[in-house]
Structure 1
């Protein structure tokens, strides 16, 4: 039987499953709509689709490293409880490893092969949704690498090796001892976890952010009634202070507040006896930017009692 686009569309509307999966289901069942739905359910796809509208803002951030490369991944679930499920932890650990091979590219990661399996990362996650019974979402991934040196990793609020609520990568280029560079990089990664800088340096800052701050500082300074030339100096002074707060290299180093991160790197390079360059960082905090559904538990209980 010929499978038409209209049939695929109808099955997709009934199940919420992707077009390619719907076409495969109809092909397998010779166009029988109800049998196709059952086929999708046996594969766990229809179950996963029905959960797809539920907010997944919990879960875990995972990191993985190998040689001079490291990757970080965020995999979301609906509840924090699932984050303590060993199967979910194994899922994100494997996904983090897979991210290394694709340089953190999210689309490539989804279609890449899950370690120790013949299935893709995307299909492995679908299987886990059906097994664990919660919506899950592979939200983002990133990787950093250096030609020599180390990409240090750090996980804050870890609940298992390399899995937790905040994951950080810090890349340091150096010809010095890799183990020493990695140990120092971990200290910077801990700093990044604590301070959440907006960028590596001043030149990397989003210019829209800088301009917005400049406008705010200008309006504040003009309220003083001082001349324009004085206002300009006031604004530049406040911008310098802003840079010290939000750029990694200019921030006071948490472990040694008398020095900036930039100065700490210079001091470490002298101790190491080799140049060291801080080339990048990535910081993922679980669920940041996701609008979580707010529930009033007391209201829910009252409604249940009254029904």
Structure 2
């Protein structure tokens, strides 16, 4: 049996990013064969990933990338905020975003099966499995979306170091610094106030019907003695107020409360001599809708120190 030297362990660790003891075990199990040891770690990484897959990954980062007229936004989750701040994890999320902007995948299954652009010898899924093994937490590429501006531009905005990310697709025959600055302001508005639609024209009828029913029930409970026709009139104002919150162009502009976002864009359009309009936006917030685990960080460290 070949002796496992410190130099061999160091070399394998630099090649794979795996832990020192894992590298030593891999070399011992493969009689010092470096290629087999790498394969051993990959297989072991797969086992680790499967073991960790049941753990909640609700922290992480949102990342955007713009490539000319195309752009992509991704959310990659980790178990802890500590890992989300790790430089290795952040570099990996940037690679995922680069993968997304070049991808033709229509869904997550197709995306995970693609060749990993950072190393075409593996798939996106295999690269994720290896990263789980290196970082030691369950990680998840939760979602991605790719957009394209055919007659204008795309701008992005990242808030809170990656907690919220926004892409805004705009139509404009003029694309200059003033237009991009205005759209960046709109992206910040979207990050802060979380609209659901660009305009009222986008609001689905079933959404309006559902909200109307809820508002009518509220009005009926508050005014049990009023007839139905009066309640119907009361909820019109309430529904309009809600739609102003849900629709971007109807929202009060955060930098000037005397304007709506629609009126702000109209003013910008007049200034640059071309109509600037928002065609689409995408807003991701890290862990949105996911259950977040509640665990004492000191206890987690103690568990890891104890070998668990």
Q: Provide TM-score, normalisation by structure 2.
A: 0.77
In the TM superposition, what is the alpha-carbon distance from 1:104 to its structure 2 partner?
Answer: 7.1
Alpha carbons 1:201, 1:247 under 8 Å: kept: yes
For residues 178-217 of structure 1, what are the structure 2 equivalents within 5 Å?
A: 178-217=176-215
Does the Cα contact within 8 Å between 1:47 and 1:130 map onto a contact in 2?
A: yes
- Which SS does the other structure have where 2:257 is aligned? strand
How far apart, in 2, do the equivalents of 1:190 and 1:103 lie?
28
Give me the whole-angstrom Cα distance separating, in 1, the residues matched to 2:180 and 2:110: 28
Out of 92, 116, 119, the residue aligned to residue 117 of structure 1 is 119
* 1:221 CA displacement: 2.9
Q: What is the CA distance between 1:298 and its match in structure 2?
A: 11
Give the Cα separation in 1 of the matches to 2:283 and 2:208. 21
Counterparts in 2 of 1:210 and 1:298: CA distance versus 1, 3 Å = farther
Name the CA distance, whole Å, in 2 between partners of 1:102 and 1:64.
13
Offset of residue 179 of structure 1 = 3.7
Counterparts of residues 228-243 of structure 1 (less than 5 Å):
228-243=228-243
Distance 1:181 1:248, change over 3 A: same
Q: 1:265 to 1:101 in 2, by over 3 A?
A: same
Q: Distance in 2 between matches of 1:193 and 1:97?
A: 22
- Tell me: CA distance 1:275–1:237, structure 2 relative to 1, closer, same or farther (3 Å): same
Does the 8 Å CA contact 2:57/2:138 hold for their aligned counterparts?
Answer: yes
Structure 1 residues 112, 184: CA separation in 2 closer, same or farther (over 3 Å shift)?
Answer: farther
Q: Secondary structure at the match of 1:186?
A: helix
Bigger relative CO (Cα 8 Å, ≥ 6 apart): 2
Structure in which a larger fraction of residues adopt strand: 1
CA distance in 1, matches of 2:285, 2:171: 25
**Cross-structure match for 1:226:** 226
Q: Identify the residue that residue 258 of structure 2 maps to in structure 1.
A: 258
Matched, 1:247 2:232: no
Which structure 1 residue ranges, 5 or more long, are not aligned? 1-37, 159-163, 301-307
Where does residue 31 of structure 2 map in the other structure? none
Of residues 277-286 and 176-185 in structure 1, the stretch that sits farther from structure 2 once superposed is 176-185
Separation of aligned partners in 2, 1:86 and 1:126: 18
Structure 2 stretches of 5 or more lacking a match?
1-38, 301-308
Rounded Cα–Cα distance in structure 2 between residues aligned with 1:131 and 1:267: 51
Aligned equivalents of 2:105, 2:180: Cα separation in 1? 20
5 Å matches for 1:1-307? 42=43, 44-102=45-103, 105=106, 106-118=108-120, 119-158=122-161, 164-222=162-220, 223-224=222-223, 225-295=225-295
Q: Secondary structure at the match of 1:187?
A: helix
CA root-mean-square deviation = 2.3
